[in-house]
């Protein structure tokens, strides 16, 4: 079956520092990977959509300078939160697409102190 | 920019009853409509999806889409305590574009 692993599951970083999170598709090749942030109020915000060999499309309020994404192959993507502050806290989820279906990992929970 | 809203925000349903969830979207060019369920601490998981107007039933779950009204819904028949979760509707445009999620509905099914 199609599975998506995200690592780490939880992380705490000091305000102003950066942290990198990873997303691995297992059992399938993802045609695209989308990164989301789920706020403490449970709302999902789309950060960016990444398709291998294409430009990464960032949504309004999110930039490459703040959330650089690497997507080197069809099964792996990583995103870094640069210069993290309190408003960056939340659950970061990746959704990997196979055909019309999108499979999600359990997310990386970021706490900023 | 696509806006996806859900109602109600939360719902308490007695076991065995019908749960009805609503989702509205703003972009009439949307082509793919899905419902996801997220149990606490777990990954969101797709429940059902639909492309064209009408109704689709899978087991206890029915999805209904009315593109002209920019609305789709999820109905859960014979609700069970295990159905208690956060329900998210999602919409996307054609061509593998990213899913845009709704604001979520928290469902609690009381035994």
**A35-94 pLDDT tens trace:** 999 988 888 999 999 987 788 999 999 999 999 999 989 999 999 999 999 999 999 999
Q: Is residue A83 packed enough to be buried (19+ CB in 10 Å), middle (13-18) or exposed (0-12)?
A: exposed
Please tell me the predicted confidence (pLDDT) of residue A85: 95
Q: Nearest residue of B to residue A4 by CA position?
A: B43
Least CB–CB distance from A43: residue in B36, B43, B104: B104
Given a cut of 90, whether residue A11 has pLDDT beyond it is yes
Please tell me the predicted confidence (pLDDT) of residue A49: 96
Q: Nearest residue of A to residue B85 by CA position?
A: A42
- Residue A5 forms beta bridges with which residues? A24
d(CA A49, CA A30): 12
CA distance B69 to chain A (A): 23
Q: Nearest residue of A to residue B100 by CA position?
A: A46
Least CB–CB distance from A104: residue in B43, B49, B86: B43
Give the list of residues 6+ apart from residue A65 with CB closer than 8 angstroms, or none. Answer: A82
Peptide bond into B8 cis (omega under 30): yes
Please tell me the predicted confidence (pLDDT) of residue A53: 76
- Residue B101 forms beta bridges with which residues? B90
**B21-51 pLDDT tens trace:** 999 999 999 999 999 999 998 999 999 999 9
What's the 3-state SS for chain B?
CCCEEEECCEEEEECCCCEEEEEEECCCCCCEEEEEEECCCCCCEEEEEECCCEEEEECCEEEEEECCCCEEEEEECCCCHHHCEEEEEEEECCCCCCCEECCCEEEEEEC
Share of chain A above pLDDT 70, in %: 100
Least CB–CB distance from A104: residue in B44, B96, B98: B44
Phi, psi of B110 (to 5 degrees): -95, 130
Question: Which residues from A are below 8 Å from B90, CB to CB?
Answer: 102
A43/B103 Cβ within 8 A: yes
Q: Nearest residue of A to residue B3 by CA position?
A: A45
pLDDT by residue for chain B (111 residues), tens only, comes to 899 999 999 999 999 999 999 999 999 999 999 999 999 989 999 999 999 999 999 999 999 999 999 999 999 999 999 999 999 999 998 777 899 999 999 999 998
H-only helix segments in chain B = none
Flag whether residue A52 sits within 8 Å of chain B, measured between CB atoms: no
């Amino acid at each position: 079956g199609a599975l998506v692993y995200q690592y780490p599951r939880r992380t705490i970083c000091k305000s102003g520092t950066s942290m990198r999170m990873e997303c691995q598709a297992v059992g399938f090749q993802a045609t695209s990977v989308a990164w989301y942030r789920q706020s403490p109020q449970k709302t999902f915000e789309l950060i960016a959509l990444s398709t291998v060999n294409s430009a990464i499309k960032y949504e309004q309020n999110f930039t490459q300078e703040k959330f650089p994404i690497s997507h080197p192959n069809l099964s792996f993507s990583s995103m870094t939160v640069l210069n993290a502050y309190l408003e960056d806290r939340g659950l970061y989820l990746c959704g990997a697409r196979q055909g019309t279906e999108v499979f999600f990992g359990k997310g990386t929970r970021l706490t900023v102190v | 920019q696509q806006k996806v809203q859900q109602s109600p925000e939360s719902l308490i349903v007695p076991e065995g009853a019908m749960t009805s969830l609503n989702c509205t979207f703003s972009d009439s060019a949307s082509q793919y409509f899905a419902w996801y369920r997220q149990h606490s601490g777990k990954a969101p998981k797709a429940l059902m999806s639909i492309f064209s107007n009408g109704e689709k039933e899978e087991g206890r779950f029915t999805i209904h889409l009315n593109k002209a009204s920019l609305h789709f819904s999820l109905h859960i028949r014979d609700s069970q305590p295990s159905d208690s979760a956060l329900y998210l509707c999602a919409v996307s445009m054609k061509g593998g574009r990213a899913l845009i999620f709704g604001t979520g509905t928290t469902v609690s099914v009381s035994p």
